Chain A
Amino acid sequence: MRPSDGDTRKLFEFADLDMKNLDDPEAAHVVIHENQVLGSNTVPGLRIEATPLSDGVKASLRVERDQVIAKPVHLCFGVVPKTGTQRIIIDVQMEENARAAILAHCVFPFAEDVRHLMEGTIHISRGAFYSYHERHVHSPQGGVKVYPKASVTVEEGGTFITEFELLKGRVGLIDIDYEVSCAREAVMEMVARVSGTGDDVIRINETGHLTGEKARGVLRSKIAVRDDAQAEIRNKLTASAPYARGHVDCKEIVQDRARATAVPIVEVNHPRAHITHEAAIGSVDSKQLETLLARGLSEDEAVELIIQGLLG
């Protein structure tokens, strides 16, 4: 059955997206439900192609040389039924000096047994800029397993920024696996903000290689786990060129019976490169907590506010 405009709008609604984005001819979007492309719009300088697979969609996104995509590109992926699998294989090519910001909305509002697999290959050419903000809406039951995986190369002077955020619902399982390589004067920033409850499992495995002179990179993980949730964060940053600079930052708040581990690995292979790291795992800072208690918040309210702040 051919998807209707109503299906597209429904997925947009679940993602809490402004419908104006769907009707704006100057804003590009692609809406994919399971293995069906429900709707798309593109703009000059941006080419998007999508081919259905048996269990998902294979897509390519290319921004042409020197093209600046003025408005964020909305990619909406979803599985509305309680069960299902969605595999997205995506190839992104940012040509020289191209610029684009992607807002990816991953929507699984009723999931009881849903798998969402993302396999990305991203190439950012010289001087190009690519940001990818992935925002998830999950079911309250946490019946989602999410496996975002990407291999990214950033050429000289290029920029890659990615941010992962769970907006609504329970995590279920999130298993992020990203590897980024930065050439001379290239910049990368990877941020993950996730709060787990129940028996959620959060695994983040991010690796950055600063291989070019003056390349810069930051890996940031802000995680809160409660109840019986588990978080395992592995951040690895290597620097092997002069004046390469990097920072790894992992903050995890642990409540109840939850467990968290952080394994920051920093590796420097050049005497003029420099990488720093900080990791803090534990319960809520007592001074923060007491400050809010002294303003009349209950302990639960205070912890919630501190976690909200941490997760941005």
Chain B
Amino acid sequence: MSILKVKDLKLDLSGKPILDGLTMDFSENRIHAVVGPNGAGKSTLAQTIMGLSGYREISGDILFEGESIRELDTDERARRGITLAWQEPARFEGLRIRDFIGASIRGKKGRVDLIADSLRKVGMEPSIYLDRAVDKTLSGGERKKIELASILAMKPKVAILDEPDSGIDIDSLEHIFEAVKLLKKEGATVLLITHSMAVLGHAEHAFLICCGKLQDKGDVKSIGNYFGKRCLPCDHKNEPDVNGGGL
């Protein structure tokens, strides 16, 4: 059963088509990969689904649980159950990790335990990290895991993880993949935005996009074969995201 659909989704940035008629159907409680070369429109798709500023002037539609969300603001989409982890997570000067993660679960019972548990799930010891700030004293990998911990605590229906392996060391990567499995186990649909074959290997279904268009979809093995053999060596130039959205 589908939880999220994009229908003939088009988005121009600075007069250039970045998403060019994408139609995709994301089944509930599956791990989907969205693969494609740099500049294909993957991160733009993620930001458009999330309704971020600068990614709202679309044509086509985005349906979540059967209803259009194109007019909803980012926070309303999040409250319905969609969330996004950035390729390069934000730094928050002075904001403690406990408050950052806690923001995802305001008003929930057992909040303090939930915050600590979510940190443990990404391999971080709460006694060391809870009172540290989400700032430049943390490595990029640590911030990435903390962002994922905040998503685990939130228990979203759809979690979009943009390049979840970037800036992550090999040991931490295992925690990231464990967290992806955990999200699925807890009922979430996961969208892995990636150009990494290693990440693709953890998906159950894949979409291949190039130049903002859907090229193919299907099982991970066949999409992976095509992507590895044809896309990665391809020197076809994609237009970069004009807003530097991580493509």
Contacts and interface: CB of A to CB of B under 8 A. Distances in A.
Nearest to B88: A287
Contact of B103 (A285, A290, A297): A297
Interface string A270-312: 0000000000000001111011111111110110011011111
B53 A290 contact: yes
A293 B90 contact: no
Given A308-B95, A310-B93, A291 B86 contact: yes
A251 B75 contact: no
A23 B161 CA distance: 55
A31 to B, nearest CB: 31
A288 B83 contact: no
Given A290-B52, A295-B83, A296-B104, A305 B75 contact: no
Contact of A290 (B74, B79, B96): B74
Interface residues of B, number: 28
Contacts, number: 71
A74 interface: no
Interface of A: 222, 251, 285-288, 290-299, 301-302, 305-306, 308-312
A312 B131 CA distance: 12
B86 A311 contact: no
- 5 closest Cβ contacts across the A-B interface? A309-B95, A296-B78, A309-B94, A293-B74, A287-B90
Given A287-B86, A290-B52, A290-B53, A295 B95 contact: no
Contacts of A251: 93
B133 interface: yes
B226 interface: no
A301 to B, nearest CB: 8
B92 A306 contact: yes
B89 interface: yes
A294 B99 contact: no
Given A295-B78, A295-B154, A310 B94 contact: yes
A301 B84 CA distance: 18
B154 A291 contact: no
A296 B72 CA distance: 12
A293 to B, nearest CB: 4
Interface of B: 50, 52-53, 73-75, 78-79, 83-84, 86, 89-96, 99, 103-104, 106, 133-134, 147, 150, 154
Contacts of B103: 292, 295, 297, 301, 305
A291 B53 CA distance: 12
A297 B90 CA distance: 16
Contacts of A298: 75
B83 A294 contact: yes
A252 to B, nearest CB: 12
A286 B96 CA distance: 19
Given A298-B75, A299-B75, A305 B53 contact: no
Contacts of B106: 297
B151 to A, nearest CB: 8
A249 to B, nearest CB: 10
A299 B83 CA distance: 15
A294 B78 contact: yes
B53 A286 contact: yes
Given A293-B73, A295-B83, A288 B92 contact: yes
Q: Which of B52, B89, B99, B154 has most A Cβ within 10 Å? A: B52
Contact of B96 (A291, A297, A309, A311): A309
A175 B53 CA distance: 38
A212 B83 CA distance: 53
A293 B78 contact: yes
A288 B90 contact: yes
25 contacts: A285-B90, A287-B90, A288-B90, A288-B91, A288-B92, A291-B90, A292-B103, A293-B74, A293-B78, A294-B50, A294-B52, A294-B75, A294-B83, A296-B83, A297-B103, A302-B75, A305-B103, A306-B92, A309-B92, A309-B94, A309-B95, A309-B96, A309-B134, A310-B94, A311-B94
B104 A312 contact: no
B107 to A, nearest CB: 11
Nearest to B74: A293
Nearest to A285: B90
